Structure 1
Amino acid sequence: MPRLLIVKTGDSFADVVRDHGDFEDLFLAAITPVAEASPGLGVSVHDARTEGVPPMPSADDGILITGSHAMVSEAEPWSEALKPWLVEARERQVAMLGVCYGHQLMATAFGGDSGYHPRGREVGTRRLRLTEAGRGDPLLGRLATPFPAQLTHAQSVLAAPPGAEVLADNDHDPFQALRYGPRQWSVQFHPEFSAPVMRAYLAHQRDALEAQGEDPEALLAAVSDTRGAGELLARFAEHVLAAASLAPA
């Protein structure tokens, strides 16, 4: 039976956890309908910060990597230990989807580079464009282009790994979504974030945004639903099921 392994790489703000759930809770909420429709799909959470490197999944399984308030460039030991694990998982053709921190970690593990964006933070509901490769992608290709997505990040992928396909971009970041192989993706945006979660993040980052010349009130007013992007985690779960020939009827 296939399983989805959620690799937890950080905690959200205390008020976000209280009111909406932590990163892994938001992931679980997104994929629970797929899991409930397919009892053969197992789902588990592994905190890489406290539990070490997870056991290697099988080729029928899927890996989801959460966001974090940590920075990939800080090279914390638990984070660095995940890099060879991710390389081996890709060699075994395990399906993977990294989000925000997971996006930057995967890109770095596979030979790219991540670090602080020279133009500062990107926060709020932003519009992203699918590239030609993105429009034909089995995971992202159903999205309209441009499409709205929730973003909050100070670091970005600064150089994509050799051979990676760019699936989405915008004027701030040329690597908003990447594909590293037939079943390995990562995205800078947060498909698990609702509009209320995005507003809570903007409230926390008001001072930092003002310091870089942005208007937090305008960003708050522009927050909107991102249902299309929000379906990405469920589509990934469906992809894992379909690959294992256990998709629900």
Structure 2
Amino acid sequence: MQENRTVQQNPSPNRKARVVVLKTGSTYPGLLVQFGDFDDWFLRGLLPELDITVTNVEADELPGSPEDWDGIVVTGSPAMVSDRADWSENTGAWLARAVAGEIPVLGVCYGHQLLAHALGGEVGYHPKGRETGTHQVELLPEADSDTLFRGLPAIFPAQLTHRQSVLRLPAGAVLLGRNGFEPNQAFRIGPCAWGVQFHPEFTDTVMSAYLEVQAPDLTREGLDAQALIAGVSPAPDASSLLPRFSRLVIKRAR
């Protein structure tokens, strides 16, 4: 079913920045009932001054031209970028146009991987398997001068759940963050397009619920599901990327 809906959040004559959220999939059915879907989580984290449209690209909807938007957010997905589904490839080509046009982009998890793939990077299954739960992200010195990341702590917790990764960054990309498991946790390409493997839209409650659903698979994969659940903690610095991106978009749109 196609979805293309607009959510006007406290519109102001001084702040009319238009952001499109590209929805690339849906969460587990049980979590959907309890917490809403991926796009709902982003709407809660982005600033209310934005005029936000949600477009379900998995249903082959693309939201006009990238130049129609002041900012673009790409959600996570249970799909795999390496499958190269038609809707995903079409969305990737659209994102490449957005980057060329210097439209601010924030790709998260699947969105992070799709952005890298669309611009010539390599995406595939992580050789060590799944990363899930609350884990530390380390910022590199390049983040100190980055317009989205500067001012964040050098190391902060983030919520993560993924089996595929950016195995090779696109040419010209600037690596901003990593950890011991995932060398490409965050990058920028061009002046205003970012990918983050971690989930700034996840709360610790959502992360715990994910681990509860994943627990049987985690056990089969040799991971300690209960230890991962016990290790979940809030990740406010990671979550701050959504209001940070909002402010960046609003400022550029003036």
Normalized against structure 2, the TM-score is what?
Answer: 0.91
Q: What is the distance in 1 between the residues matched to 2:99 and 2:227?
A: 41
For these two proteins, the number of residue pairs brought into alignment is 239
Shift of 1:58: 2.5
Query: 1:24-72 CA distances to partner (integer Å, 9 max, x unpaired)?
Result: 00000111xx22xx3xx31110000214222113376100000000000
Does 1:181 find its partner at 2:190? yes
Query: Matched residues, percent identical?
Result: 45
Moved more, 230-239 or 116-125: 230-239
Does 1:161 find its partner at 2:170? yes
Shift of 1:112: 0.2
Shift of 1:16: 1.1
CA contact (8 A) 1:87 1:110 kept: yes
CA contact (8 A) 1:59 1:93 kept: no
Shift of 1:206: 1.2
Question: Which residue matches 2:160?
Answer: 151
Query: 1:181-220 CA distances to partner (integer Å, 9 max, x unpaired)?
Result: 1110010000000011001111111122222322111111
Question: Which residue matches 1:239?
Answer: 248
Does 1:4 find its partner at 2:34? no
Cα RMSD between the aligned structures? Answer: 1.2
CA contact (8 A) 1:62 1:240 kept: yes
Q: What is the distance in 2 between the residues matched to 1:115 and 1:10?
A: 18
CA contact (8 A) 1:59 1:92 kept: no
Q: What is the distance in 2 between the residues matched to 1:221 and 1:77?
A: 39
Shift of 1:242: 0.7
Question: Which residue matches 1:209?
Answer: 218
Counterpart among 14, 17, 22 of residue 32 in structure 2: 17
Q: What is the distance in 2 between the residues matched to 1:76 and 1:160?
A: 21
Q: What is the distance in 1 between the residues matched to 2:230 and 2:145?
A: 33
Counterpart code for 1:131? L
Moved more, 199-208 or 162-171: 199-208
Q: What is the distance in 2 between the residues matched to 1:13 and 1:86?
A: 26
| SS of alignment partner, residue 120 of structure 1 | coil
CA contact (8 A) 1:133 1:166 kept: yes
Counterpart code for 1:115? G
Counterpart code for 1:30? G
Q: What is the distance in 1 between the residues matched to 2:221 and 2:185?
A: 21
Does 1:93 find its partner at 2:102? yes
Does 1:172 find its partner at 2:181? yes
Q: What is the distance in 2 between the residues matched to 1:57 and 1:117?
A: 31
Q: What is the distance in 1 between the residues matched to 2:27 and 2:69?
A: 30
Q: What is the distance in 1 between the residues matched to 2:68 and 2:37?
A: 28
Question: Which residue matches 1:55?
Answer: 64
Normalized against structure 1, the TM-score is what?
Answer: 0.93
| SS of alignment partner, residue 156 of structure 1 | strand
Counterpart code for 1:195? D
Runs of 4+ aligned residues of structure 1 deviating over 4 Å after TM superposition are none
Counterpart code for 1:10? G
Query: 1:128-160 CA distances to partner (integer Å, 9 max, x unpaired)?
Result: 100111232121222212100000000000000
Q: What is the distance in 2 between the residues matched to 1:170 and 1:51?
A: 34
| SS of alignment partner, residue 58 of structure 1 | helix
Counterpart among 125, 131, 134 of residue 125 in structure 1: 134
Q: What is the distance in 1 between the residues matched to 2:69 and 2:114?
A: 22
Shift of 1:2: 2.3
CA contact (8 A) 1:122 1:153 kept: yes
CA contact (8 A) 1:60 1:244 kept: no
Q: What is the distance in 1 between the residues matched to 2:166 and 2:119?
A: 12
